[in-house]
Amino acid sequence: MTIRASERGTEREITLSRRELLLRTGVLGAGAVVGGLWPSAARATVPDALRPLLAQVADPAIQLLVRDTYAGLAVFAVPGPDPYSQAQRVTTAAPGGVEAKAPELLAHTLDSYISLPDAYAQALVAAFRTGVEDVPIPHSLLGGALSALELVGATMDDVLRLALANDETVPASLPLALLMNFAATQVRPSSVVGPIPSSPFANLTWSEKGLAFERIEQADPAIVALIDANAPQPLKEGASGLLRFVGNAMLVFAPFAGYSEYGVFDRSTLRATRRPIGWDLSRYMPGRTTPADGWPEFLGYYQDRRETHTAPEFGGP
């Protein structure tokens, strides 16, 4: 199937195999995945001679993919006027999650809070890199000699293959970003191209993002089978629980991050350097940048009762 999509105003064609399309939309189902059809369908595009160039661009490309995906999540929770909010077609005039630096906090929190065994994290990356198989290495990272990668059509899949081959420790934010992107391509295969070049998830509309998370939270059988097919023992068959846990974790931390002080917090002084965006959004303590020591809120005691005792039936007065 050939789909047409717009990237920076330029029409681009992508050809998805019928099998890819069916897998991404979940129609082909778990059996095909468990049977080993899916991972083997992926293909490398970069000649060996260009692999040193690929190594140069791998880290920034992965960072961009992670950053853009969590920016897509941050504005799903708390939209603003930024390009990510524009991509989801829900914007607000007031700043939102991106301006509050929620994407950085989300990735940091997930990296530290969710401790996936290395082998499991790598298995998840292997499983979900197919979601960005057709996502090119972002143009903004290429130039000079690196342009050769563009000429051979190198994709984020090549970058991830290289990372896995190097047996790198994988922080949780990467496989979870890939999970969101894989789910995004299930919801709309054409999301592999769009205004946010490195993240299919960030290219979804606001409602489509919800549908992607529906698949994650409901442990879509195709996703479960994909994880379990790749997972090492004894962690096989734990995918449903993992999806429900990480789906909620990502959704619950996103609004927390958007309304927190993280973006303006100085760890060395334990103070905000200026007023957090979330405080303005919620009209919290107007004019302050630091927590207050108290408020003139005391109204007295209900029915003027200042103390109570054990009830008479239990021996009280």
Partner 1 sequence: MRDVIVIGAGGGGPVVAKELAARGLDVLVLEGGPWYTDPERQWSRYENDANSPADGYLRFGPADRFERPPWFRELPQNSFVWQLAGSGGTTQHYFGNCPRAMPGVFDDYAGADADAYDAAHRFPFGYRELIPYYEWVEATLPVQTAAMGTKEAVFFRGCEGVGLPVNPYKDILYDSFRPQENAILQPGGTAGRTNDEALLTYPQATGCTFCGYCFQGCFEPRRAPRNLKAKRQTDNSYIPMMLTAQRWAADGRRVTFTPNAFVTRILWDAARTDRAVARGVRWRDTQTGEQHEETAQVVVMSAGCTEDPRLWLNSQLPNPNGWVGRGYTDHAIDWLVGVFDEYTGNSKGASSSARVDYPGRGALEQVGLPPALEGFAMGFSDSGVRGVYDNGRPLTGRWDGLAGRVYGADLKSVLSDVDRLVNVLVLTDDDVEPDDRVVRSTFPEDENGPIPRVRIKGRERSARTLANREFLANRAADILHAAGARRVLRMDFGPLPLHVHSTMRMGSSADDSVLDEHAEARWVDRLFVADNAALANALGGPNPTLTNQALATRTCERIFAKYFGGDPWVGSESPVSSLDDRVTAGVLAGEAG
Considering only residues 213 to 232 of the shown chain, the ones binding partner 1 according to CB under 8 A are 213-214, 217-218
Tell the smallest beta-carbon distance from residue 59 to partner 1 (Å).
21
Nearest to 276 by CA among 291, 257, 289: 289
Residue written as tokens 């790749």?
Answer: 230
Pick from 22, 152, 251, 275: which binds partner 1 (CB under 8 A)?
251
Distance CA 296, CA 194 (A): 52
Q: Out of 92, 168, 195, 221, point to the residue binding partner 1 (CB under 8 A).
A: 92
> Nearer to partner 1 by C-beta: 143 or 234?
234
**Alpha carbons within 13 A on the beta-carbon side of 292:** 10
**Cβ atoms within 10 Å of 79's Cβ, excluding its own:** 23
Of these, 113, 139, 145, 147, which contacts partner 1 (CB under 8 A)? 113
List the one residue from 117, 139, 145, 273 that touches partner 1 (CB under 8 A): 117
What is each CA distance from 8 to 38, 78, 116, 200, 235, in whole angstroms? 31, 24, 36, 14, 42
Cα dihedral: 77, 83, 86, 87 (round 10): -90
Q: What's the rounded Cα separation, in Å, for the pair 142 and 145?
A: 8
Shortest Å, Cβ 49 to partner 1: 39
* 155 CB neighbour count, 10 Å cutoff: 24
Angle between the N-to-C axes of helices 239-259 and 173-187, in degrees from 0 to 180, rounded to the nearest 10: 100
Cβ proximity to partner 1: between 63 and 218 the closer is: 218
Residue 278 beta carbon to partner 1: minimum distance, rounded to whole angstroms: 5
Q: Is 244 in the site for partner 1 (CB under 8 A)?
A: yes
Residue from 94, 140, 145, 273 in contact with partner 1 (CB under 8 A): 94
The Cα–Cα gap between 178 and 49 comes to 27
Nearer to partner 1, 151 or 270 (CB): 270
For tokens 């989300």, name the residue: 106
Answer for the pair 72, 204: CB distance below 8 angstroms, yes or no. Answer: yes
Least Å distance, CB 245 to partner 1, is: 5
Least distance CB 235 / partner 1 (angstroms)? 6
Check: CB of residue 198 under 8 Å from CB of residue 155.
no
Residues 45-84 that bind partner 1 (CB under 8 A): 76-79
We find the least distance from the C-beta atom of residue 304 to partner 1, in angstroms, to be 10
Under the binding rule (CB under 8 A), the answer on residue 108 touching partner 1 is yes
- Which among 58-66, 123-131, 176-184, 307-315 is the span making contact with partner 1, rule CB under 8 A? 307-315
For residue 252, give the 3-state DSSP assignment: helix
Return the number of the residue (51 or 275) whose C-beta is nearest partner 1.
275
6 versus 273: smaller Cβ distance to partner 1: 273
For position 86 contacting partner 1 by CB under 8 A, the verdict is no
